[in-house]
Amino acid sequence: MTGADAGTLALAGLAVGLEPRLADPAVLDAATRAVVDWFGATVAGSVMAPAELLTAALVEDGTGDARLVPGGRAAPTRVAALVNATASHTAEMDDIYREGIYHPGSPTVAAALALAQHRGASGLDLLEAVAVGYEVGDRIAETVNPAHYRFWHTTGTVGTLGAAAAAARLLGLDVERFAHALATATTMAAGLQQAFRSDAMSKPLHAGHAAEAGLLAAMAAAKGFTGALDILEGEVGFGAAMAASPDWAKATAAPGGRLAITRATVKNHSCCGHTFAAVDAALRLRADGLRAEDVDSIEVRTYTTATKVAGVADPRTAFEAKFSNAYCVAAAVALGSVRLRAFEPNALADKTIRDLVSRTTVVADDAMEELFPGRRCATVVVTDRSGETRVAERTTRKGDPDDPLTDGELAEKFADLVAPVIGEAATERLSAALWSLASNPAVRDLPLGEDS
């Protein structure tokens, strides 16, 4: 196997070879869940500043072959992919591939949806493209991490390749052109960790750029545009520059295994995924009777990466709070939920939550870090005012493949995110259309309008 054969060509061959497996009901069901979940996150994020500002900057005359979520406003295909993907990553409710430290849905579904609308594709076409995009992106993410995640935001980098793969599937590219799409996408992959170590809008834009760049790479490849086929494994390529020279054979290993889209984590909380295990533990203590007024002190022990990425000790903005284990645990104890309302101004200023944050310490646990990223663990230890200690441990997160949300719980999450934006009747129409997407003859006809 030559260097080129070990990289983009091998991945393209694997992706094209998925064809007979895409009709598997389990795969289509997982892809449907992924699209439903993406729409929920996107609608919620559409009314937040990043997507609104990009729409104002880029969507001028309301013309184009694709549509913005949720209102259905027309936009050019690449612009729709960029804006929708940015919206989907803003509310921190988009899905995760745990082993790859990666949010595949935001860039992948956004790119696939925009292109499907542009081409007049069916719901089944969209679902199959999403499954292919997840497979390629998730495999690359797992191959390059955790080393890649030290400096790079996987959703912005690897997401570019996931988006390109989904688009390449919709375009029906052969192996060679599919490989060139991946190669061109790779050289446009970007997104630095520093962008979300402070309050800024760049993090969701990473997903938007990934969707647009991946779509561009695939559309160009369809017309014969070429990329460097050894860009993943070359001596100055992606792996060497951004991932400590990983073993690229891992990216195409076990081609007959369970498809990646069936192993997605569905977020249950509206914050950084590195807080989830601790939040779940805190919610268990609350379910067992703990109340905010009982608390003298809280200690959160979790994996080291979580203390670095979500280690804001005294958050003052919604952005900072979403990346604060201390705040998210305090909100869980005080409110019983860490969804969108936990990050509204009244919650951020709530005296009870602020007092709990001041009583919370977050400690890195080396043993838990050794299990990362395949396991996301946390232990929450609460000492109450009588001196009694209460402990809750989590070795996974609610929503992970080993503790998944049911379809009913996912539908509840969708309604919780969407109804406040477009109204209950429109939410019900959109939900019904999405859950039956496999039988939809034209994606561009999805009911995206708001209630009258």
Q: Is residue 278 part of a domain?
A: yes
pLDDT, residue 450, reads 63
> Between helices 154-171 and 175-187, what is the axis angle to 10°?
150
Q: Is residue 428 part of a domain?
A: no
pLDDT, residue 176, reads 98
Q: Determine if the peptide bond prior to 373 is cis (ω within 30°).
A: yes
Q: How far, in Å, CA of 220 to CA of 377, rounded?
A: 43
> 155 and 285 in one domain?
no
Residue reference for tokens 């921190």: 92
Q: Which of 112, 36, 153 is nearest to 407 (CA)?
A: 36
Q: Which of 47, 43, 79, 88 is nearest to 61 (CA)?
A: 79
Q: Is residue 39 part of a domain?
A: yes
> 226 and 164 in one domain?
yes
How does pLDDT run along the chain (452 residues), one tens digit per residue? 344 445 999 999 999 999 999 999 999 999 999 999 999 999 999 999 999 999 999 998 889 999 999 999 999 999 999 999 999 999 999 999 999 999 999 999 999 999 999 999 999 999 999 999 999 999 999 999 999 999 999 999 999 999 999 999 999 999 999 999 999 999 999 999 999 988 999 999 999 999 999 999 999 999 999 999 999 999 999 999 999 999 999 999 999 999 999 999 999 999 999 999 999 999 999 999 999 999 999 999 999 999 999 999 999 999 999 999 999 999 999 999 999 999 999 999 999 999 999 999 999 999 999 999 999 999 999 999 999 999 999 999 999 999 999 999 999 999 999 999 999 999 999 999 999 999 999 999 999 976 53
Q: Which helix (H) or strand (E) holds 362?
A: strand 360-365
- Cβ neighbours for 378, distance < 8 A, ≥ 6 positions apart: 277, 278, 280, 281, 300, 301, 302, 303, 306, 368, 393, 394
Could you count the other beta carbons within 10 Å of the beta carbon of residue 388?
10
> 248 and 148 in one domain?
yes
- Cβ neighbours for 194, distance < 8 A, ≥ 6 positions apart: none
Give Cα separations from 405 to 62, 276, 314 (angstroms): 37, 14, 31
Are 127 and 226 spatial neighbours (Cβ–Cβ below 8 Å)?
no
Domains in the chain, number: 2
> 227 and 208 in one domain?
yes
Give the pair of three-digit tokens for residue 28. 């289509």
pLDDT, residue 451, reads 56
Looking only at the bridges linking them, the beta strands covering 74-75 and 378-384 are unpaired
Last residue within a domain, chosen from 202, 231, 263: 263
Last residue within a domain, chosen from 354, 369, 394: 394
pTM of the model: 0.94
> 333 and 226 in one domain?
no
Structural domain of residue 172, as residue ranges? 8-263
pLDDT, residue 452, reads 37
Q: Is residue 211 part of a domain?
A: yes
Q: Is residue 405 part of a domain?
A: no
> 133 and 198 in one domain?
yes
